[in-house]
Amino acid sequence: MKKLPWEEFAELPISDKLPFLSIDRTVNEPFHVLFAQQFDRPFLDSLFALADRIRKIHKTSDGVIFLRSLLADRQALNLFVQPSTRTFLSFLCAEQNLGMMTADIRDVSTSSQAKGESLQNTIRTFSSYVDLIVMRHPDKGACELAAWEMNMADRRIPIFNGGSGRDQHPTQALLDVYTIRKSVDEIDGKTIVMVGDLARGRTVRSLSYLLKNYRDVSIIYVSPERFRIGEDIKEFLDHHNMPFRETDDLESVVGEADAIYMTRIQWEWDSAEGLAERHGESDPRFVFRTEFLDKMKPKSCVMHPLPKINEIDPELDYLDDPRLVYWRQERNGMWIRAGLIARVFGLSDVIMSYKE
């Protein structure tokens, strides 16, 4: 990245961008976190072990104090140009649990960008003050641009993609895979069912990318005709010899699933696409109904990236079934994000060797 002009960099395929995400490190040791594609199996395994460890340490008061001492000299900026309370909260708490001081900007529209400043300049300026920027932005390339800018700067700090455009949400994908692994022990050989608005939900895209790190995984995409998974994802799966199929009948595949990943219809995009508002919102074919639990394997899980509306029967919120993991999935996100920050700041060893 250092010497490549932005226009040239932006044109590269993702695989050629990956080396630029590390600094004086191997490709597998990330500095910036931008794409689900940047993680390989050894990285995932060690990150999940680190997140497990952080969670365990956090259970004691002494452990909390230890964790909060680790980055007590560092500051994080959560730059959320696009609204997202839950990803914001998850990162904030992850940072605080590692002791970081935090600043947040949740609306850039009213500030310098309104005065005509470029995003590059905004990022360069903000990076003057802090040691990490977590960024959520409606534009697809915004986080890449920020990371590129940092690679050109004297004071280089890591950029974490907290969700950009419809495309990438890599930490969500990490927590999803982490949750599957915790629920069914081992991902190799499993069948993952993804349901809902697969065309416009970025979580299913990032999750599909990440699953290539596991052996013999099958994916079943369940969606209305209108909202099928993108052709680029199918090409990616074909390229990596990952079997998948598509259907519009959730009920028929519930029994096969090791993990069912529900998503909501993202009707906020409807008007931009010339669709009638809330097209397909309440199609009962894509709702997880209580009775499906009877058909599911005893060791399996129902997930959701949240927020959910009515894609999962609301009475399940109050049912005590260990396969309903979507609330735990949410908290897993905080641990994965804490693990990721700890990793980027070189704290894996000190955490893994902490004695209670």
Residues 6 or more apart in contact with residue 337 via CB below 8 angstroms? 90, 91, 94, 171, 175
**Under rule CB under 8 A, residue 271 binds its own copies:** no
Structure tokens at 281: 């919102």
Answer for which of 49, 308, 348, 354 binds its own copies (CB under 8 A) is 308
**Backbone dihedral region for residue 88 (phi beyond 0: left; psi -120 to 50: alpha; all else: beta):** alpha
Residues in 133-172 at the binding interface with its own copies, rule: CB under 8 A:
152-155
Among 330, 348, 352, 354, binds its own copies (CB under 8 A): 330
CA distance 151 to 162: 19
CB of 242 to its own copies, least distance (A): 30
Contact 150, 160 (CB under 8 A): no
Q: Which amino acid is at 26?
A: T
Binding flag, residue 130, its own copies (CB under 8 A): yes
Residue 10 touching its own copies (CB under 8 A): no
- Asked if 284 touches its own copies (CB under 8 A), the answer is no
Rama region for 165: left / alpha / beta (φ>0; ψ in -120 to 50; rest): left
Q: Residues 152, 8: contact at Cβ < 8 Å?
A: no
Q: Which of 7, 13, 26, 115 binds its own copies (CB under 8 A)?
A: 115
In 10 A of CB 43, how many CB atoms? 17
DSSP string, 25-43: S-TTS-SSB--GGG--HHH
Provide CB contacts within 8 A for 62, sequence distance 6+. 356
Q: Is 105 in the site for its own copies (CB under 8 A)?
A: yes
Single residue of 10, 12, 72, 275 touching its own copies by CB under 8 A: 72
* Residue placing its CB nearer to its own copies in the complex, 83 or 189: 83
CB of 161 to its own copies, least distance (A): 19
Q: Which of 314, 321, 346, 350 binds its own copies (CB under 8 A)?
A: 314
In this structure, what token pair is assigned to residue 184? 């069914």
Residues 239-268 as x/- pattern, contact with its own copies by CB under 8 A: -------------------------x--xx
Nearer to its own copies, 52 or 246 (CB): 52
**Residue ranges in contact with its own copies by CB under 8 A:** 61, 64-65, 68, 72-73, 75, 77, 83-86, 89-90, 92-93, 96, 101, 103, 105, 108, 110-112, 114-118, 120-122, 124-126, 128-130, 152-155, 264, 267-268, 306-309, 314, 317-318, 327, 330-331, 334
